Structure 1
Amino acid sequence: MKTYLKEMLSRKDLLYYLVRSGLKAEHRNSYLGYLWWLLDPLLNVLVFYFLIVVILDRGDTENFPLFLVIGLIVWRCISTTLNSSSGSIMRYSSIVSQVYLPKSLFPISFTLTQLFNFSFGFIVIAGFLAWFRVMPGWEIVFLPLLIIIQTTFLLAIGMILAYVTVFVRDIENVLQYVTRAFFYASPIIWEGGRLPPEYGWAVTYNPIAVIVTAYRDILMYASLPNFLGLGIIFVISAAVIVFMIWYYSKNEYKIIKAM
């Protein structure tokens, strides 16, 4: 594993190239390019606001559009990272099969790519905060820590998905239904406290719910996030990353055989 880590560090230029090429490829055929990271949450807010407030006559949360935009932007980062990471090794199969490279670099690069895209979402959130005259409190100092925890969590899941997808190609198809289930099981467009008591576990033990709620606590409610929940997510995710790096170092030859 020590040798493998050294190999990863020696390939940091490749990691930079993968992130840069991923950003370019993502918007290669788009006229608006990175503007979609500004437009997408805005359009999503309009759609869900119309559905929940106008049609269903719900959404009585104070500053509900701000509530929506925070949840939708965080969710977009989570879902796009997981979906792109799952096929990250297969996407570069032509390179992987010809040149030796630490395969774990591929899910790492896709996670960092989506983290860069995620930064555009904060421009939209800042606009909504200004529009509704909501001023975050001193708790905003924990925002970088929250982003690190979220990135660690996504990287852990992404490394697992990237490896498994090489052997089980159906994972990418199944993942879209799994992420959809988590979307509705997490307080993205609804408040966590509105679930019946018997379904409260869907929020309490749901890492996505913990992360999304933490962003709202810091940015919208000027309150401290659930540090216990975030700490558990970080520790488990970090342990999974260490294990997966070890696992990659011992089993990468199987990836070549499966391609």
Structure 2
Amino acid sequence: MEHDNTLKSYGGLREFLAALATPHLWALLAWYDIRQRYRRSVLGPFWVTLSTGVMIGTMGLLWSVLFKSDVRAYLPFFAVGNIVWTFYSTQINEACLGFTQFENIIKQIRFPMAVYLLRILMRNLIILAHNCVIIIVVLVWLAPPLTWVAWLALPGLLLGSAAMMGASLIVSVFCTRFRDMPMIVQNLMLVMFYITPIIWRPSALGPQHQWVATYNPFAHLIEIVRAPLIEARFPVESWLWSLATAAILLIFGVMLQGRFKDRIAYWL
């Protein structure tokens, strides 16, 4: 039995690598999804950017007043954190239906199961790229001039994407098997939004409550993108946390996919 589980884990790794080796497939499908979603729309994905920008501007001004913070310091903090969080949470929530929404394809064509999750990830990265316009506008308008350290936000975002891919591999299996799981995951993500330093700063916590940010993996996954942009700082501790988080999620996710990939079609 242990030998069979080991073989299935290796099978999951081979299938995951096979999915990664076909970017022409999942990237093209992701672009097709974007075009279909915004077909006959004048602004296309920029409608999401526009609505996100209005929300960030409105809520940023409101929260800066409530927290008695300087808007020039608070708005970049909130804008970057909120946009990165939106990418993370949308990826996980959509991964809950990562297999059920492609049920017809899964039952007809044999693709590596990770292809469908990479398709969702690429789709959300495209939307994130549009929303980065907001970050650029806010940083140019309010933040100090960017330095070369700001480029470190890109590998930080890449690491965050890897962590979200690992989380997607995990939740997609559980949510396909147990149909109540998507609602549980959505509610957990809502709770995580409020206990992650997005609308509040970690410095606002007292010494006895610092653990809320210190042991929150999402806080570190956001910080590795936000700190280089608004503080020109490389957050070593957050990078170590994020590397560990991404490694654990990917390893567990690949093993889980390898163990149950042959059952997914029967669960749909």
**TM-score range normalised by the length of the shorter chain:** 0.7 to 0.9
- Aligned to 2:111, the other structure's residue is in SS state coil
Q: Does 1:147 align with 2:157?
A: yes
Displacement, 1:5? 4.9
For structure 1, which segment, 158-167 or 194-203, has the greater mean C-alpha deviation from structure 2 after superposition?
Answer: 194-203
Q: What's the counterpart of residue 58 of structure 2? A: 47
Match of 1:206 among 216, 232, 243: 216
Q: What's the counterpart of residue 174 of structure 2? A: 164
Q: Does 1:63 align with 2:60?
A: no
Q: What's the counterpart of residue 245 of structure 1? A: 254
Structure 1: segments with no counterpart, 5+ residues = none
Query: Does the C-alpha gap of structure 1 residues 57 and 235 become closer, same or farther in structure 2, counting only changes over 3 Å?
Result: closer
Q: How does 1:95-134 map to 2 (within 5 A)?
A: 95-132=105-142, 134=144
Displacement, 1:72? 1.4
Q: How does 1:154-233 map to 2 (within 5 A)?
A: 154-225=164-235, 227-233=236-242
Query: Does the C-alpha gap of structure 1 residues 40 and 241 become closer, same or farther in structure 2, counting only changes over 3 Å?
Result: same
Q: What's the counterpart of residue 35 of structure 1? A: 46
Displacement, 1:36? 2.5
State the AA in 2 paired with 1:98: Q
Structure 2: segments with no counterpart, 5+ residues = 1-10
For structure 1, which segment, 234-243 or 167-176, has the greater mean C-alpha deviation from structure 2 after superposition?
Answer: 234-243
Q: Deviations over 1:62-115 (max 9, x none)?
A: 522222211111111111111112211111011112222211211121112111
Q: Does 1:75 align with 2:85?
A: yes
- Tell me, yes or no, if the aligned pair for 2:165 and 2:250 is still in contact at 8 Å: yes
CA distance in 1, matches of 2:41, 2:208: 45
Q: What's the counterpart of residue 8 of structure 2? A: none
- Aligned to 1:223, the other structure's residue is in SS state coil
Displacement, 1:233? 2.0
For structure 1, which segment, 237-246 or 156-165, has the greater mean C-alpha deviation from structure 2 after superposition?
Answer: 237-246
CA distance in 1, matches of 2:125, 2:249: 19
State the AA in 2 paired with 1:229: S
Match of 1:15 among 9, 26, 51: 26
CA distance in 2, matches of 1:144, 1:152: 12
Query: Does the C-alpha gap of structure 1 residues 31 and 45 become closer, same or farther in structure 2, counting only changes over 3 Å?
Result: same
State the AA in 2 paired with 1:49: G
Displacement, 1:242? 3.7
Q: Deviations over 1:177-217 (max 9, x none)?
A: 11111111011111111123332111001121112233332
CA distance in 2, matches of 1:10, 1:79: 26
For structure 1, which segment, 160-169 or 238-247, has the greater mean C-alpha deviation from structure 2 after superposition?
Answer: 238-247
TM-score under structure 2 length normalisation? 0.85
State the AA in 2 paired with 1:108: L
Displacement, 1:236? 3.7
- What is the aligned-residue identity percentage? 21
Q: What's the counterpart of residue 145 of structure 2? A: 135
- Tell me, yes or no, if the aligned pair for 1:44 and 1:72 is still in contact at 8 Å: no
- Tell me, yes or no, if the aligned pair for 2:79 and 2:135 is still in contact at 8 Å: yes
Displacement, 1:165? 0.8
Match of 1:24 among 11, 35, 45: 35
Q: Deviations over 1:119-178 (max 9, x none)?
A: 222221111122125212221231221011111111111111111111111222122211
Higher relative contact order (CA 8 A, sep 6+): 2
